[in-house]
Structure 1
Amino acid sequence: MKDEHITIFSGSSIIVKGLQIRLEDNNIKYLIKDRVESARLGGFGEHRTAIELLVSNNDKEKAQPIVDAYKVEINS
């Protein structure tokens, strides 16, 4: 069975980095899709919040409470 990934969060690089640290602390693997850097390398622009953090479908239930708590933290 193929391990599929879903976007669980997107934002600026510094905000995504904070969530990366929390996921690493909980041994949750993730992928980063950096559309900003890809656009820069391609010679065109992209919105600076176009960095996506993806987790495996298998880790979604474990990661979602961490993401929800992080959203509350950054919005307070």
Structure 2
Amino acid sequence: MKTEHITIFSGSSIIVKGLQVRLEENNISSIIKDRVESARLGGFGEHRSAIELLILKSDIEKTQPIVDLYKEEINS
């Protein structure tokens, strides 16, 4: 079985981690892709909001309402 991950959110480290915690509370696995740290280790710069949160494509339906609510909360 092929597992395909998709990016559902990107932002600063602290904001992405907050959403990851919400997903974990709902038993949804996720992966953080930290381009900032990768760039630092590679010796070049990257924008601070280059941190992505990925989930399995099969989890998108149960994840989307959580992401939408989180975006409302952080933008209010």
Gaps of 5+ in 2: none
Q: How does 1:1-76 map to 2 (within 5 A)?
A: 1-76=1-76
- Aligned with 1:15: secondary structure? helix
Could you tell me the TM-score, scaled by structure 1's length? 0.98
Number of positions where the alignment pairs a residue of Structure 1 with one of Structure 2: 76
C-alpha offsets along residues 7-64 of structure 1, whole Å, 9 cap, x if unaligned? 0000000000110110000000011110000000000000000000000011111111
Could you tell me the TM-score, scaled by structure 2's length? 0.98
Moved over 2 A (4+): none
Gaps of 5+ in 1: none
Give distance in 1, aligned partners of 2:27 and 2:48: 27
- For the aligned residues, what is the CA RMSD? 0.5
